[in-house]
Structure 1
Amino acid sequence: MAQITAAMVKELRETTGAGMMDCKKALSATDGDKAKAIDWLREKGISKAEKKAGRIAAEGAVAAYVSADAKVGVLVEVNCETDFAAGNEQFRTLEKKIAEHIAKAAPADLDALNASEIDGKTVATLVTEATATIGEKISLRRFVRYESAGHIASYTHMGGKIGVLLDLTGGDEALGKDVAMQIAAANPLAIDRSGVDASALEHEKEVLRKQALEEGKPEKIVDKMVEGRIKKYYKEVCLMEQAFIKDSDKTVADVLGDVKVTAFTRYQLGEGIEKKQENFAAEVAAQIK
């Protein structure tokens, strides 16, 4: 039986990120063989990670990556269970590595992304290992990748609570950031009127018509009122018609000039995920019984 030294434990811990006692157990179980100990930890880590698979992961961060020439950009949402874990250096390194990998590998979808490899390991394996070492369920939720002949810009807000990726026909970094910040703050639904969902528009018209009738407006002027209110609706949901956040006397179209927005994506962390409501008092009481 090989003697397990503190140096061996330290080296394994630095390599795997696993806890000190887990590293000592792994080395003891594998007679001090580091390679076998790494496998042992991975096996145990996978086992631990699988137990966390049912947990709700609605925290985390939206990460953005734009290539040096601003021709390729990525927005990706990586989830975990708590804000605390989202600030973990390993979590931040993982999401950055995945964003850069998406830019280079151009996976077609999440399945292809999970099956693709970074430094000889699949992305799915890296996520599982992170789940084991961080101690929370980590999951890849969604991503988008742009490739442009123009200029790609990005913006993340509040440490990744909101992320925006934007494709412009031209402009510079400053203009791109300003428009991306606009999208983060004002949450437009479309670039211009042609992009507004037809069913959403009809629904809005119906709501506005009923509002006008409830206000006691004569039937003959209701349609004109609805038309006027729909113009206001367009100013709220169409990026080009929104008042610019840095100068409300200008629209975004005014700020852009000859530059066009060809696409944008806005992710808000955890949107659409039903968060588990924790009863912390009950949880603590259960743990001390």
Structure 2
Amino acid sequence: MTISASQVKELRDKTGAGMMDCKAALKETAGDMEQAIDWLRKKGLSKAAKKSGRTAAEGLVGVATEGTKGAVVEVNSETDFVARNEGFQGIVKGIATVALTTAGDVAALAAATLPSTGKSVADSLTDAVATIGENMQLRRTACLSVENGVVASYVHNQVADGLGKIGVLVALESTADVAELAKLGKQIAMHVAAHDPTPAAVRTEEIDPALVEHERKFFSEQALESGKPAAVVEKMVEGRIRKFYEEVTLLKQNFVMNPELTVEALVAQASKDLGAPVAVKAFVRMVIGEGIEKEVSDFAAEVAAQAGL
């Protein structure tokens, strides 16, 4: 049976598969387009399975907000090149939007339907692996919501709307004007992107007491080595604890856009200006590849090994 160039092009446009693979698929299925798509999908799934073991530490963080709710997702790929692929960007953007309905549950998000494909998020990523040719993984997701107010977002190193290397959500509870709250929320989100409060605590009382006690003990031992009197040592330790809170607590940090103000003072001023109390309820900061141990490849060693040297 003769397979026309137009048939090959149509199949390639629909699947993103290589020209020779498309031609082979059409020959195997006697020119039936739908069967050829399935044939390629089966072949692609086999390839995708082999790729699934490769380290995926690049990719994109995607954010989506809808009034009082916001979601952030991390979808990994093997190379930064794929992050610039419009098809991959579209998938991540779609996944972030779906994440608004899954309350920060990765398993629920993976099983949810992606509207653009009509398939589950997990199956859509598997298909994308076959088409794009790299391992891809939905790694994590988080969702914030408030009863009144906004969930604002900011994306750092943005490659497309709502997609980049660092994604931040900030939940503000207030009955103040939503547009003004959104501006404030974005400013705080930008601050969080620049000055990572780790562990992720809004207020000092949210920090694990065991961690505070550990730091206090460390500072005490350090101060005692100075040989200063106990009263002086105590003051030194309290000063170091205050500094510790400033480093790891969002509200105690100096605001990146105006270091003369703490974030707490910024929010207090906004409450006065907007005529209604404003409270930072929570925040999420997600960085692409954070915590993933990347494989370091010695290309020369690989070549030598293959050559038997």
Q: Please state which band the TM-score falls in when normalised by the shorter chain.
A: over 0.9
In structure 1, the gaps of 5 or more residues are none
Listed as ranges, the matches of 1:1-289 within 5 Å are 1=1, 3-67=2-66, 70-103=67-100, 105-106=101-102, 109-119=105-115, 120-149=118-147, 150-159=149-158, 160-170=164-174, 171-188=180-197, 189-257=200-268, 258=271, 259-283=278-302
Q: CA deviation at 1:216?
A: 2.9
Contact 2:165/2:287, CA 8 A, preserved across alignment? yes
Name the count of aligned residue pairs. 285
Structure 2 distance, partners of 1:38, 1:107, is: 34
Residue by residue, what CA displacement relative to the aligned partner does 1:12-61 show, whole Å, maximum 9, x if unpaired?
Answer: 11111212221111111111101001111111111000001111111111
Q: CA deviation at 1:224?
A: 2.3
Query: What letter is aligned with 1:241?
Result: K
Residue by residue, what CA displacement relative to the aligned partner does 1:148-206 show, whole Å, maximum 9, x if unpaired?
Answer: 22101011112322111111014422211100011111111310111111121111111
C-alpha change, 1:287 and 1:136, in structure 2 (3 Å) is: farther
Q: What SS does structure 2 have at the residue aligned with 1:79?
A: strand
Structure 1 distance, partners of 2:145, 2:246, is: 29
Q: CA deviation at 1:284?
A: 5.6
CA RMSD of aligned residues (A): 1.8
C-alpha change, 1:283 and 1:144, in structure 2 (3 Å) is: same
Q: What SS does structure 2 have at the residue aligned with 1:172?
A: helix
Structure 1 distance, partners of 2:73, 2:58, is: 13
Structure 2 distance, partners of 1:125, 1:218, is: 66
Structure 1 distance, partners of 2:129, 2:225, is: 54
* Percent identity between the two aligned chains: 51
Residue by residue, what CA displacement relative to the aligned partner does 1:67-117 show, whole Å, maximum 9, x if unpaired?
Answer: 2xx2221100000111111211111111001111122x3266222222222
Q: What TM-score, normalized to structure 1?
A: 0.93
Structure 2 distance, partners of 1:219, 1:253, is: 32
Q: What TM-score, normalized to structure 2?
A: 0.87
Structure 2 distance, partners of 1:168, 1:86, is: 31
Query: What letter is aligned with 1:270?
Result: G
Structure 2 distance, partners of 1:145, 1:11, is: 39
C-alpha change, 1:87 and 1:283, in structure 2 (3 Å) is: farther
Structure 2 distance, partners of 1:62, 1:7, is: 37
Query: What letter is aligned with 1:127?
Result: L
Q: After alignment, is 46-55 or 257-266 more displaced?
A: 257-266
In structure 2, the gaps of 5 or more residues are 159-163, 175-179, 272-277
Runs of 4 or more above 4 Å deviation: 283-289
Structure 1 distance, partners of 2:39, 2:233, is: 73
Contact 2:72/2:99, CA 8 A, preserved across alignment? no
Q: CA deviation at 1:220?
A: 4.2
Structure 2 distance, partners of 1:126, 1:64, is: 19
Q: What SS does structure 2 have at the residue aligned with 1:274?
A: coil
Contact 2:150/2:173, CA 8 A, preserved across alignment? yes
Query: What letter is aligned with 2:105?
Result: D
Structure 2 distance, partners of 1:267, 1:118, is: 22
Q: CA deviation at 1:241?
A: 1.2
